[in-house]
Structure 1
Amino acid sequence: MGGVTDASAAELLTGAVGDLVADLRRLRAPALADEPDAVHQLRTTVRRLRNLLAGYRRYLRRKPADDLRARLASYGALLGEGRDLEVRADDCRRVLAELDRGDLLDDLVAPLLAGHAAEHARLVAWNATDEAAALDAVLDSWAARLPLRRKRAARSARSAGRHVVRREAGRVLDRADAAGETSHDVRKAARRLRHVAEVAGDDRAAALGKEIQSCLGEHRDAVLLAGYLWSAGGPAVLVAHVEVLAGRALADLPDALRRLRALHEA
């Protein structure tokens, strides 16, 4: 695992969590101003922190870790409402350009942008609530001192990382076997694998997690766009085009899962 020294798991986690909390604070103002890609970056950082807490849960005290994960889940869901509409609007705009149907922008893209604006206003309002202040207080406490399980967290970061990455890779494969390769659970598991592997310094596992997540993410976005276009009365040719894109997004998925299985069994 390149990038991980002989530090302890406690030192690794303290540094990683501290960096992510700092990123959350840095990204808040741009996200509230709705600067380009800012909400996406903030949402991704929330997910990274949640996944780090989940992947390394055996090294953290359960109650405070579960509490922070729950708070981050609520925050991430709020960020996701507006971000998903923004992505759908961008995808819709791109598809309309591909098929030379700019005449449909007002009918199909404008409602998505209006929805995004409403969700962003909700995010700004939430930021002034007691719930937002409570999240800040919890993040401050974690940045100051992690609630570690001291004995377990004293083991080497390299050893802990190998164990965590192996478990998360197995989790991706188990979900692919149980729920099907294209399931939402596989995408979420692959994203967690990517995030913990990046912290652990396992570049191969991180790359495979990212590849699987990307395939399934592109597929999901296309499926949701097709559903939106159908419900909004878009032309059948437009819906069919997006459904083809959804199928293409999965072309490399079986091979990526095969390579992850080989890495996991090595």
Structure 2
Amino acid sequence: MAGTPAGELLTQAVGALVAEIRDGREPALADEPDAVHQLRTSVRRLRNVLAGFGRYVEKRPARVLRGHLASYGALLGAGRDLEVRAEDCRRVLAEVGRTDLEPALVAPLLAAHDGAHTVLVDWHASPDAVALDRLLARWGDEVPLTRRAGRRADRVSTKVLDREVRRVLDRAAQGETSHEVRKAARRLRHVADAVGERDLARLGKEVQGRLGDHRDALLLAGHLWSAGAPAVVVAHVEAAASSALDGLPEALDALRRVHGI
């Protein structure tokens, strides 16, 4: 990477992610196992790479593409989140020996997921879907780079990763379990993956994963409570939400040490 321009690195990373999004669409629309999750992840990765390397791509085209990707990601997320909640709910009911509650607690989530998937399929026949396809084709052919993209990729990557690590730690200082910390950690993970920095990607994933599990458990507890689940079931999920945060301070400390902060 030492003698490679940052623009070349970015072009390769963006091209690969555009291809992933295109290839992932058909399985996702067929609702194949894990396909929506994989497509959503590819969309998030591209958004985060563009954000992390924002100084090295043209601002206006990047802002337009990121806006379209955000809307698309939200559409994918609507069904995926319901799918995850249904899976988690079924698992929890098995753990507490109350599978008899599945028709009341899991079935509505699955029905809502099916409705969200129908919306997703219909969206792909819309003008917004056509606009996104055109943008992806354009970026897949040529990434609109700035002059800074001519700088050495290794130096640019070090600078970008330093900024992303500080972004995670600054948000953690304001509230360790916040939604913003989770998003910052996810962006660090995706940017680190794009430049092959496995240690930072792993730490970003660990922070993101712990906070993601915490959030999913809280959302599930809310669903169970509003659906009238027994208190023992809700308490079981709340305990899981708390334990999901075990090790989070250590993960953040490791992030500080790896990056010398």
Q: Do these two structures clear the TM 0.5 threshold for a shared fold by scoring above it?
A: yes
Q: CA RMSD in A?
A: 0.8
Equivalent-residue separation in structure 1 for 2:3 and 2:189 (angstroms):
22
Letter in structure 1 aligned against 2:229: G
Q: Which residue does 1:123 correspond to in 2? A: 120
Q: Structure 1 residue 209 and structure 2 residue 204: aligned?
A: yes
Residue identity over aligned pairs, in percent, reads 62
Query: Deviation digits for residues 141-176 of structure 1, max 9, x if unmatched?
Result: 101111100x21011111111011000000000001
Residue from 167, 170, 194 that aligns with 1:171: 167
Q: Which residue does 1:37 correspond to in 2? A: 34
Q: Structure 1 residue 69 and structure 2 residue 66: aligned?
A: yes
Query: What does residue range 5-20 of structure 1 map to in structure 2 within 5 Å?
Result: 6-20=3-17
What SS does the aligned partner of 1:13 have?
Answer: helix
Equivalent-residue separation in structure 1 for 2:140 and 2:198 (angstroms):
26
Equivalent-residue separation in structure 1 for 2:88 and 2:111 (angstroms):
15
Q: Structure 1 residue 158 and structure 2 residue 154: aligned?
A: yes
What SS does the aligned partner of 2:38 have?
Answer: helix
Residue 5 of structure 1: how far off its partner (Å):
5.1
1:212, 1:256 within 8 Å by CA — same for their partners in 2? yes
What SS does the aligned partner of 1:233 have?
Answer: coil
Equivalent-residue separation in structure 1 for 2:74 and 2:253 (angstroms):
31
Equivalent-residue separation in structure 2 for 1:47 and 1:6 (angstroms):
29
Q: Structure 1 residue 103 and structure 2 residue 106: aligned?
A: no
Q: Which residue does 1:60 correspond to in 2? A: 57
Q: Which residue does 2:243 correspond to in 1? A: 248
Residue 239 of structure 1: how far off its partner (Å):
0.2
Equivalent-residue separation in structure 2 for 1:5 and 1:214 (angstroms):
32
Q: Which residue does 1:223 correspond to in 2? A: 218
Q: Which residue does 1:24 correspond to in 2? A: 21
Q: Which residue does 1:86 correspond to in 2? A: 83
Equivalent-residue separation in structure 2 for 1:239 and 1:112 (angstroms):
16
Letter in structure 1 aligned against 2:250: D
Unaligned runs of 5+ residues in structure 1 are: none
Q: Which residue does 2:179 correspond to in 1? A: 184
Letter in structure 1 aligned against 2:256: R
Equivalent-residue separation in structure 2 for 1:174 and 1:139 (angstroms):
33
Equivalent-residue separation in structure 2 for 1:20 and 1:157 (angstroms):
18
What SS does the aligned partner of 1:265 have?
Answer: coil
Q: Which moved more, 1:159-168 or 1:195-204?
A: 195-204
Equivalent-residue separation in structure 1 for 2:95 and 2:157 (angstroms):
44
Stretches of 4+ moved more than 6 A in 1? none
Q: Which residue does 2:255 correspond to in 1? A: 260
Equivalent-residue separation in structure 2 for 1:65 and 1:103 (angstroms):
50
Equivalent-residue separation in structure 2 for 1:60 and 1:193 (angstroms):
18
Given the two structures, how large is their TM-score scaled by the length of structure 1? 0.97
Given the two structures, how large is their TM-score scaled by the length of structure 2? 0.98
Unaligned runs of 5+ residues in structure 2 are: none
Equivalent-residue separation in structure 1 for 2:99 and 2:140 (angstroms):
49
Residue from 109, 129, 134 that aligns with 2:131: 134
Q: Which residue does 1:113 correspond to in 2? A: 110
Query: Deviation digits for residues 219-262 of structure 1, max 9, x if unmatched?
Result: 00000000000000000000000000001100010000011122
Equivalent-residue separation in structure 2 for 1:19 and 1:140 (angstroms):
12
